[in-house]
Amino acid sequence: MKKRVLVLSCGSLAATDMNMALKDNEEFEIWGTSIYKNHGVYVYKNYIPDIPNMNDENFIEVLNQKIKEYNIKFIISTHEDMCVFLQKNKDKINAITLCSDYETALLCRYKTKTYEKLKEYDFIPKTYKKEEVTEYPVFVKKDNDQGARHAYKVNNSEELELYTKEPNMVICEFLPGEEVTVDCFTNKNRELLFCNPRAADRMLAGIDVHSRRIKLTDEIKKIAENINSEANFRGFWFFQIKKDVSGKFKLLEMSTRMPGAFSLSRCLDVNLPLLALKDFDGQDVKVTFNDIDIEADKQFFGKYSLGISYNKVFIDFETCFKDIEKINTFVMMYLYQCVNKNIKINLLVKNKETAIEFLKSNKIDINLFDEIFEVSKDGIKNLLTENSILLSNDDNLKNEIRKENDKYYCFSNNIVECLIDWRA
C-alpha cells in the first residue's frame, strides 16, 4: 500500500505543483484538504473535506480523526503559521509533518528572530528603531508576514509614522537591487544537498509569474551554507535575498514551507516534495539534476467542473482531425483521459478507409476508438443519447443537435480543456 501524504491546505499554487510532482508516484499517494472549498477540489483526486480552522479548539481532534480514517502518514503544510502550529503540537498529531523543527519554523516566521540569530553575518540588513531613521527611503514590513504583504517603501517621516502604526512592524534599510529566491534542500544529517537561485521578473498577487534560473554564485552559495549551519533545517526550505545600493545581497526572509514557484526546480528534475518524503521516511537521498538554463511563465489557467455525466464520446473525424493543420494535443490528452475513466470513444467518419489511413499516418492507434461509424451528418444526430457528448467543429451540426434536444451536449475542440479532469 502506498504511504499517504496530506497537503494542508491544498488550494495554493505550491499545492497544485505538489500534486503534479506526486500524483503518479509509485511509493507515496497524495491527498489534499482545506478549511474551505478552493482550487484544490479541481486538482486533487483524493480530497478530504470538513477540516476546521487551525484556530478552532477541536482542530487537532478532527485532524487526528481524518488521519486515522484515511490512513495518513505524512503532512505537508503550505503556510508558515500552520508549519509553526503543527511542529509546536507534533506530539499531539498522529502523523509526521514534513517541516523543520518547531524552533526553526518559529525562527523563520519572525524576521526579528531571523535577523537576531544571524546578526553576525554581513548579509543581514540594517534595522532601525523609528527614532533612529534620519535618511530615506527605508523599508517597513510586518514581523510575521511574508512576501509583499504588509511591506512598504517609506519615503519620508509622514509615511514612516503612518506605516508603523500597524503592530509588529520592522524598519529595515531599503534594498533597491535585484531580488532572488533560493530553493534549498537539507537532509536528515543537516547536509545542504540542493541550492537553486531564481529571479522573479514579474509578480502577480504575490506570486512569481515569470521566473528564471540564475547562476549559483559563490556569494549566494555562501549565504545558503551559513544559514543552513545556523538553523536546523530539514527537507525543503527557501530564502529570499535582495541587493543593496552597493550590489551586495542582503537577506529578506527565509521559510520552512514549500515556495510558491518551486516548479522551476522541479523542471531540473529535482522533486523537492518527493525528496522530503523519502528523507522523513528514513531513506537516504541523493540530488542530481539537469544543469540547464530555464525560465517559467505562469498565468491563470482555468480548471472546470461541468454538471453533466456521460459514458460515451462521439468525435467528428472530419473537423477534429482531418481538417486541421496539426493534431490537437489537448484532444489527445482528453481521449486518453476517457480511456482511464472507461468512457467509450466513438469516431464518426464519412469514409472509414480514408480515416484509418489518416490515423495511421499520424501515428494514432485505431484501437483508441471503441467503434468507428461511417455516417452522414443526419446519422450523427441519430447516434447521440443523453449519456453521450459530441466533439465537433461543425457549428451548423451542433446548432441543429441542440435545437432537437437541449440535453445533447456538443463541444468544439478549441474548448476541450473544459473537459479535462486535472484530478485524474
Average pLDDT, the chain: 92
Side chain identity at residue 11, one-letter code: G
Report the side by side order of strands in the sheet with 344-349: 371-374, 344-349, 312-316, 388-391, 409-411
Contacts (Cβ under 8 Å, ≥6 apart) of 387: 309, 310, 311, 312
Which cell goes with 185?
Answer: 534542500
Position 205 confidence tier, pLDDT thresholds 50, 70, 90: low
pLDDT higher than 70, residue 148: no
> Measured between alpha carbons, how far is residue 309 from residues 306, 388, 419 in Å?
8, 8, 11
- Mind listing the pLDDT tens digit for each residue in 372-414? 999 988 888 889 988 999 999 999 999 999 988 888 899 998 8
The secondary structure of residue 368, as a DSSP letter, is G
Residue 424's pLDDT is what? 67
Query: How do the domains of the chain map onto residue ranges?
Result: 3-97, 108-113+176-295, 126-173, 312-419
**What's residue 323's pLDDT?**
80
Cα distances from 68 to residues 64, 72, 95, in angstroms, run 6, 7, 9
Per-residue pLDDT band at 147 (split at 50, 70, 90): low
Q: What is the dotted CATH code of the domain comprising 312-419? A: 3.40.50.1000
**Under 8 Å CB-to-CB from 163, ≥6 apart: which residues?**
140, 152, 154, 169
Enter the DSSP assignment of 118.
Answer: T
Task: Among 2.40.50.140, 3.30.470.20, 3.30.450.370, 3.30.70.3290, name the CATH number for the domain at 108-113+176-295.
Answer: 3.30.470.20
- Residue 309 is classified by DSSP as -
Give me the helix-helix angle, 13-22 and 272-280, nearest 10°.
70
Residues with Cβ < 8 Å from 361, sequence gap 6 or more? none
**pTM tops 0.85, yes or no:** yes
Q: pLDDT-based confidence at 114, cuts 50/70/90?
A: very high
Instruction: Give me the half-sphere count of Cα atoms (radius 13 Å) on the Cβ side of residue 39.
Output: 13
Same fold, 3-97 and 108-113+176-295: no
Cα–Cα nearest to 78, from 274, 256, 280: 256
Query: What are the tens digits of pLDDT across the range 66-76?
Result: 999 999 999 99
The amino acid at 230: E
The pLDDT tens digits for 249-297 are 999 999 999 887 788 888 999 999 999 999 999 999 999 999 999 998 8
Query: Are residues 123 and 251 in contact, defined by beta-carbon separation less than 8 angstroms?
Result: yes
Q: Which residues of 186-204 are buried (b: 16+ CB within 10 A; e: fewer)?
A: bbeeeebbbbbbbebeeee
More confident residue, 289 or 424: 289
* Contact present, 372 and 355 (Cβ < 8 Å): yes
Q: Which CATH class is domain 3-97?
A: alpha beta
Helices 102-109/80-88 angle, 10° precision: 150
Give the model confidence (pLDDT) of 77-112 as tens digits.
Answer: 999 999 999 999 999 999 999 999 999 999 999 999
Task: Tell me what the mean pLDDT of segment 156-171 comes to.
Answer: 89
Beta strands per DSSP E along 187-221: 192-204, 207-213
